[in-house]
Amino acid sequence: MAIIETEATLHEAHRDNHTHRDVNGGWLRPAVFGAMDGLVSNLALMTGVAGGAISRQGIILTGLAGLAAGAFSMAAGEYTSVASQRELVEAELDVERRELRKHPEDEERELAALYEARGVEPALAREVARQLSRDPEQALEIHAREELGVDPGDLPSPMVAAVSSFGAFALGALLPLLPYLLGGRVLWPAVLVALVGLFLCGAVVARVTARTWWFSGLRQLALGGAAAAVTYALGNLFGIAVG
């Protein structure tokens, strides 16, 4: 009885600790990349023009233009990229679907060979392949996973990627603009807000990727701060040269 209870406890603990994050979702990468890119690029853009002694109105206009241009560019790029990837996968799935329809025996033997290569006994591999090949849609799903490394029912959505990227970039790009939109006339509040935003973004990403939150936050803070410092210096240099 004690052994049975111990096994039941282990199985319950295994279920509690064996859940996985969604690593194939179509929203996480564009959202994270968009937010980071919006923060860094607009902060760098604004510090660059501020270094060139541009007026408050000029900085606001530059920031708004950077927000709009970057958000639309990110959305269009993500949509095209994900749509192209999806179309390629769907084309390969069509090839596999035709092969399953025209040469089902060959595809069944191919699946059995894959299982044998992974250490399954030949007779058992053939039987498993035979049973799994009864349903054409199930067979397609298995062949796609084994040969292409994709799940036909879980392909990324171009629209989800585009909307996620657009919204995240716009939100990130808005942060350094907020102090100016609220009446600020100096650069340091915008830099402070943007750097805090970068740190928080890095910390939030760490919650998803299981990295240390402070390391991820400090990494984004350092990268964004370095970009802002370089563009400010260049803006100051070019402003003096032009002036």
Confirm whether 21 is domain-assigned: no
Interatomic CA distance for residues 152 and 129, integer angstroms: 19
Confirm whether 57 is domain-assigned: yes
pLDDT by residue, tens only, the chain of 243 residues? 444 444 445 455 445 554 555 544 456 666 777 888 899 999 999 998 888 777 889 999 999 999 999 999 999 998 999 999 999 999 999 999 999 999 999 999 999 999 999 999 999 999 999 999 999 889 899 889 888 888 888 888 899 889 989 999 999 999 999 999 999 989 999 999 999 999 988 888 777 666 788 998 899 899 888 988 998 888 888 765 444
Q: Which pTM does this prediction carry?
A: 0.75
Confirm whether 14 is domain-assigned: no
Confirm whether 8 is domain-assigned: no
Confirm whether 19 is domain-assigned: no
8 Å CB contact between 206 and 213: yes
- Other CB atoms within a 10 A radius of the CB of residue 130 amount to 13
Confirm whether 12 is domain-assigned: no
Provide the domain count of the chain: 1
Confirm whether 109 is domain-assigned: yes
Confirm whether 114 is domain-assigned: yes
CA atoms within 13 A on the CB side of 118: 10
The parent domain of residue 84 ranges over 28-237
